[in-house]
Amino acid sequence: MKPLILVVDDDVKITTMLRRSLDYAGYRVREANNGLEALEVAEAIKPELVILDIMMPELDGLEVCRRLRSGGETLIMLLTARDEVSDKIRGLDSGADDYLVKPFALEELLARVRALLRRNATETDKTLAFENLSLDPVRREVRRGDRLLDITNKEYELLHLFLSNACRVLTREEIMERIWGYDYSGESNVLEVYIGYLRGKMESGGEKRLLHTVRGVGYVLKD
């Protein structure tokens, strides 16, 4: 699954430029234009990386960084026009993983993005498991007990999302954003179709259901 990156800056020209460049580089991208919006979007989509400007209205980037860091392990890259050592220290002390000074070369930003995402490669390569369902990211294999499931790429991405969030209810909107890259419209049944495919393959050996519907909300992987 392509990494999901949230770009946060009150300068629309910068967010537009970064979105286009990151999209061209193969990433999924969402935007926010102030600190409060950034927190709301990050909570909804759970990005792998947040590229975050420091100087913003309503809530500055350092405070956004602290709140994001207190709530999870999302990677954070700060962008700022301040290049004093003390400013960099403040940024890193707030929980940032990297710090880039404006103006910056786009090639350097993309290289730093790749380096940050590689930093998490060890964790993302770990086998995910719940009950007797397991997913091996290295081999891209899914098993139910000893039975190897024959699944498509999209089904694999869905199971990876559910196994990474076992026992947590995922809304339809969140799943559609994470897997298909657009907001759930309420009109398409593509998600329900794929859930049906997965259930059929996961339960074809007579196993109990693990992928449950939460009526009016979404789905959850639980026993």
Residue 10: which CATH number?
A: 3.40.50.2300
State the average pLDDT over residues 101-126: 80
Banded pLDDT at 119 (limits 50, 70, 90): low
The rounded distance, in Å, linking the Cα atoms of 142 and 81 is 46
Do 135 and 89 reside in the same domain of the chain?
no
**Which residue among 104, 121, 138 closes a domain?**
121
Banded pLDDT at 210 (limits 50, 70, 90): very high
Do 117 and 134 reside in the same domain of the chain?
no
Please provide the average confidence, as pLDDT, over all residues in the chain.
87
Do 117 and 145 reside in the same domain of the chain?
no
SS3 state at 32: strand
Do 92 and 141 reside in the same domain of the chain?
no
For the ranges 69-73, 100-104, 176-180, the maximum mean pLDDT occurs at 100-104
- How many independent structural domains does the chain possess? 2
Least confident of 101-110, 157-166, 172-181, 198-207: 172-181
Provide the pLDDT for residue 157.
84
Do 11 and 112 reside in the same domain of the chain?
yes
For residue 109, give its domain range: 4-121
Cα–Cα nearest to 60, from 93, 77, 36: 36
**Which residue among 100, 121, 142 closes a domain?**
121
pLDDT digits (tens, 9 = 90+) for 47-70: 999 999 998 877 888 999 989 987
State the average pLDDT over residues 10-30: 92
The rounded distance, in Å, linking the Cα atoms of 44 and 171 is 9
pLDDT digits (tens, 9 = 90+) for 131-171: 999 999 878 899 999 999 998 878 888 999 999 899 999 99
Q: Tell me, what amino acid is at 151?
A: I
Report which of residues 70 and 4 the model is more confident about: 4
**Which residue among 93, 121, 149 closes a domain?**
121
The rounded distance, in Å, linking the Cα atoms of 87 and 191 is 45
